[in-house]
Structure 1
């Protein structure tokens, strides 16, 4: 394994023998950038930790070579499509086969999971696209229109659209709710290998064997840019986390593009050959490629890559001033509206009854023989626990040191993400509290030596116990939230957060952060200076939901603002008076000091066992550049 050289922009991380026969496909987990799935001619799917030499799990079940693999967004599931057209979905946390889906008539060429719902899209050499309900094992819709193999599928970040690309050189955009094609793009002259939605804007990037990358405006449905300079077919694309630039992976090189106008910011030589997938982790870009039975991984240090004005097709340009990252990118293009919770209400148009009963067998459940043949063998228990077991459900047993009513009502309240625009009245919460206590004494009558049947007076006394105290607490919280809501209405998020901090009530801060964490467009550098001191308290809280909120906020800050903080603090002094730059420098300096303090807290908690162990390990990786 190669060791990272701090003087290099790119280096090879490792090379492993991934299968007993030729590797056919692979995929990186895009959420963490730390997981890799490989599929081979040996009909297996192997799961690896990037940078580690040993296989974590080996998944079997397919009777034909695996042609395509894909992780879901949480990296708890992986799907693999075979040469025969069958699909298998494994639950990695439970280490078992979850679903077997049949219906395609030829090789599976492309796969993607819906960002919110339990849906999966597959494209095949039979030219069809199928949308599957993973829970019900059935195909809910079939999209027809391509005339050749469907090479790439991608759901939009808001989960409303599905984009497909084909060997027929066309891109089609499908409306999942209406069940029909919205538009078709036909500017490419070769097979299209990859599609990538912008993380925030209505923008789509495509890479083709015609050696071009094209960008499409999804409001006006027209091409807004075409980059020509690749030395070979474009195989991989990835937008930077802030959406300001686009990375392109081609043979032995990484290119960095901007648009409006079209620009090539940087070209980084990387010896990865025909790179097959890209992911961004800890301000590093991970690239993976395969040759015969081997898989190689490479790293590009994104802090050394130019992402603003530098080179445009060989012409030197003036360096652009450093600006604070904005989720809206370089234009005022419309942003995606994401659901406020992880539970999606997105509905897709169902196929007709005759289509669902078609002889293709789309709704055929796997036979018992298929299920028996499928397995998930854990090869490396230590890495398996590190990646998958911390995600399992936590115990619901209350601590012995804390009385039942306070413990359970706090857990109930903490895990209820309050929307400032939808705060319920105290009377409703009081009713829920009463009902919650009543159910407890019905379900658990024997606990703590209580009689199995309670008399009316005793039951009423138990229900009333602590009720007045709880109502006072909730009334105070409701009043504070109303105050915050009034400030929030002015559109000043930082002032809202500062008001919450001044109330000396950490639960109010958590309520605000649970909303801000779900709305990237609200984040600014000013907000980081207010949030970071609060995160230190959250990470050391005894309440798990507080710790989870703190981890989420810290991860978001590191991913979005560390490049800005690092670049600002390492930049040479400016000539003359630049008040804006000086103010930004002071903010970045304050953030850096707070992050250094937090890094010690994270290091102390990274080795803990439990639900948040893996979250702290990931934060430790993200905070590694602070030590340089």
Structure 2
């Protein structure tokens, strides 16, 4: 009688040292299930081929830890967001930086590529969602509605909607064409960590730290079902490609769910800890998790997993009979997505419920892109995965084979992360060899880690990240290239000297600014004449700042005055308008923004008064107060006419402030 072959359902594939410091984010390519991108506290993005030991490519340019990474559908582009709020896009086939996108004011928590157009959505801890046109470096829309950090973004399969999940316990659905929120889905009682669209039907799944998964109908905008009792916070979910079920990466297990009604079909024990991302290829589910600087990958054989029908594996699951299937099994319960046959057109720009902003290329962006690099670390693996484009179409990728299950007696060993000591580590040493048995779903709990004698042919479980050069940042990474004879790199003393070059100048500037602010404040230590709304205080403060001739102090004061419209009087307008003209011509973005805000307040509050006063017939008799007001209106009108030419010239800009100047130009139309 032949002995039956034991096939594993789940096993650990590999563990690598992915970065020189802690790993902060990772993502799998969903098309192949074989490409892995990792972001680390060392400010790098590294590319890996699953089950290969070496880093394929290392992407540099960020100067703060990489918080989020995302691959586009064809796995040709990668976008990475940093702790400082900057976003960079690389072309993986050409091995070069494409775009640097600046605009967020805090950590980038989530990213996603549009399925058809060349657009990227970003969500940040600053609560904003931005849609970027990566062809023009521009921000197409800014969506505001969440009150806390946006943790996950996903485009719908047809590319018309964007779903967002945030720490404010809500899920929101945005219409990209109209530029507004379609619906908000409340119900979670904890931060929502992940959202995922059904591949075919109008259905959305969301997973939260409240240990629930909710399914939302996108036609009726209501909850379909709610799965409760997850072992821990839900961090990763994935629909099966045919949409028959949802996979949830739980702590040390994979769970398979249905939603009409809510049901757990199967539970597969996988010791992957806090799995961060999932992908499916060749009837295998790939899961990846990270801990400190290590990244681990796992495989689940989906041919041995129950995805429909009755529950087969876990005795604690619900055994209620499933709902009767529809008469026509091929007919979905909901509307299905209509995929465009060509790439989608650029979203229309509308004003309602969104703020449109666009950046023009600047020298700072160009410098960032020059300093961002894509270093190919392993040419053989690179050529295998990123096949070059030709003039007709992209060469289709080779279909990879499924990962074979390891033999029952396979011994895996740890190696130290330092590649330079790899040869020494290869020598037999009982202290360095640790056995990690592959988990067997039929045996619970998992056997403890025990010491073992070395097996010469065993593959390492932790593979050092071998590269052509050290991955850790040096001080010279922050500096432009400096030619130093007979010296390969800057020593610490020289590097610090370079960094400190502008330090003294900056200190002088800030000291002078502080002194001028003290001068303005010192003029008001004696109580002033009664002024209930503080208008006299604002007037005398601005007068002092103008007398000092320090535009930075004027900006500081205007930022305060702009917050209270009642502080504005005609006297203040006559003093501020010449300063606004200087601010609008400044090279500093913050100065231009403050000038635009002040000018808009003046136009909305005083332009009708000015035009009415100038159009009114002369008064009969002597009215001193009216004459004074008329004189101020004439002075303001003259100054506004001077500014209107500048505003008109800037209204044609396509940069960040172009729309603001166009709005100001419309407001000033009555001057003509």
Which interval holds the TM-score relative to the shorter structure? 0.5 to 0.7
Q: Deviations over 1:356-377 (max 9, x none)?
A: 568xx68757433312210000
Q: What is the CA–CA distance in structure 2 between the aligned matches of 1:324 and 1:184, rounded to whole Å?
A: 33
Q: What is the CA–CA distance in structure 2 between the aligned matches of 1:242 and 1:170, rounded to whole Å?
A: 27
Q: What is the CA–CA distance in structure 2 between the aligned matches of 1:326 and 1:230, rounded to whole Å?
A: 30
Instruction: Quote the residue 1:146 is aligned against.
Output: 146
Instruction: Quote the residue 2:389 is aligned against.
Output: 392
Instruction: Quote the residue 2:401 is aligned against.
Output: 621
Structure with more helix by fraction: 1
After superposition, residues 474-553 of structure 1 pair within 5 angstroms as: none
Instruction: Quote the residue 1:378 is aligned against.
Output: 376
Pairwise CA distance, 1:58: 0.1
- Report the TM-score, using the length of structure 2 for normalisation: 0.56
Q: What is the CA–CA distance in structure 2 between the aligned matches of 1:321 and 1:203, rounded to whole Å?
A: 19
**CA 1:269–1:144: 2 relative to 1, 3 Å:** same
**CA 1:78–1:327: 2 relative to 1, 3 Å:** farther
Does residue 339 of structure 2 align to residue 338 of structure 1? yes
Instruction: Quote the residue 1:121 is aligned against.
Output: 121
Instruction: Quote the residue 1:481 is aligned against.
Output: none
Q: Deviations over 1:77-113 (max 9, x none)?
A: 0000000000000000000000000000000000000
Does residue 304 of structure 2 align to residue 304 of structure 1? yes
Q: What is the CA–CA distance in structure 1 between the aligned matches of 2:116 and 2:176, rounded to whole Å?
A: 13
Pairwise CA distance, 1:251: 1.1
Does residue 60 of structure 2 align to residue 63 of structure 1? no
1:621 match: secondary structure: coil
Q: Deviations over 1:87-145 (max 9, x none)?
A: 00000000000000000000000000000011100000000000000000010100001
Kept in 2, the 8 Å contact 1:76–1:91? The answer is yes
Q: What is the CA–CA distance in structure 2 between the aligned matches of 1:367 and 1:59, rounded to whole Å?
A: 17
Pairwise CA distance, 1:381: 0.3
Q: What is the CA–CA distance in structure 1 between the aligned matches of 2:76 and 2:194, rounded to whole Å?
A: 24
Instruction: Quote the residue 2:319 is aligned against.
Output: 316
Q: Deviations over 1:515-573 (max 9, x none)?
A: xxxxxxxxxxxxxxxxxxxxxxxxxxxxxx9xxxxxxxxxxxxxxxxxxxxxxxxxxxx
**CA 1:279–1:365: 2 relative to 1, 3 Å:** farther
**CA 1:6–1:155: 2 relative to 1, 3 Å:** farther
Q: What is the CA–CA distance in structure 2 between the aligned matches of 1:173 and 1:339, rounded to whole Å?
A: 20
Q: What is the CA–CA distance in structure 1 between the aligned matches of 2:330 and 2:199, rounded to whole Å?
A: 8
**CA 1:10–1:324: 2 relative to 1, 3 Å:** farther
Kept in 2, the 8 Å contact 1:140–1:350? The answer is no
Instruction: Quote the residue 2:38 is aligned against.
Output: 38
Kept in 2, the 8 Å contact 1:309–1:317? The answer is no
Kept in 2, the 8 Å contact 1:123–1:149? The answer is yes
Pairwise CA distance, 1:314: 2.0
Q: What is the CA–CA distance in structure 2 between the aligned matches of 1:276 and 1:201, rounded to whole Å?
A: 25
Structure 2 residue runs of 5 or longer lacking an equivalent are 406-672
Q: What is the CA–CA distance in structure 2 between the aligned matches of 1:276 and 1:366, rounded to whole Å?
A: 34
Q: Deviations over 1:476-531 (max 9, x none)?
A: xxxxxxxxxxxxxxxxxxxxxxxxxxxxxxxxxxxxxxxxxxxxxxxxxxxxxxxx
Kept in 1, the 8 Å contact 2:100–2:365? The answer is no
After superposition, residues 17-416 of structure 1 pair within 5 angstroms as: 17-311=17-311, 314-316=317-319, 331-341=332-342, 343-345=343-345, 347-349=347-349, 366-389=364-387, 391-394=388-391
2:13 match: secondary structure: strand
Moved over 4 A (4+): 317-328, 354-358, 361-366, 622-625
Kept in 1, the 8 Å contact 2:247–2:254? The answer is yes
Q: What is the CA–CA distance in structure 1 between the aligned matches of 2:67 and 2:309, rounded to whole Å?
A: 40
Kept in 2, the 8 Å contact 1:213–1:228? The answer is yes
Q: What is the CA–CA distance in structure 2 between the aligned matches of 1:384 and 1:239, rounded to whole Å?
A: 29
Pairwise CA distance, 1:322: 11
**CA 1:325–1:45: 2 relative to 1, 3 Å:** farther
Pairwise CA distance, 1:316: 3.5
Kept in 2, the 8 Å contact 1:34–1:49? The answer is yes
Aligned residues: 398
**CA 1:327–1:162: 2 relative to 1, 3 Å:** farther
Q: What is the CA–CA distance in structure 1 between the aligned matches of 2:152 and 2:362, rounded to whole Å?
A: 25
Q: What is the CA–CA distance in structure 1 between the aligned matches of 2:193 and 2:356, rounded to whole Å?
A: 30
Pairwise CA RMSD: 2.8
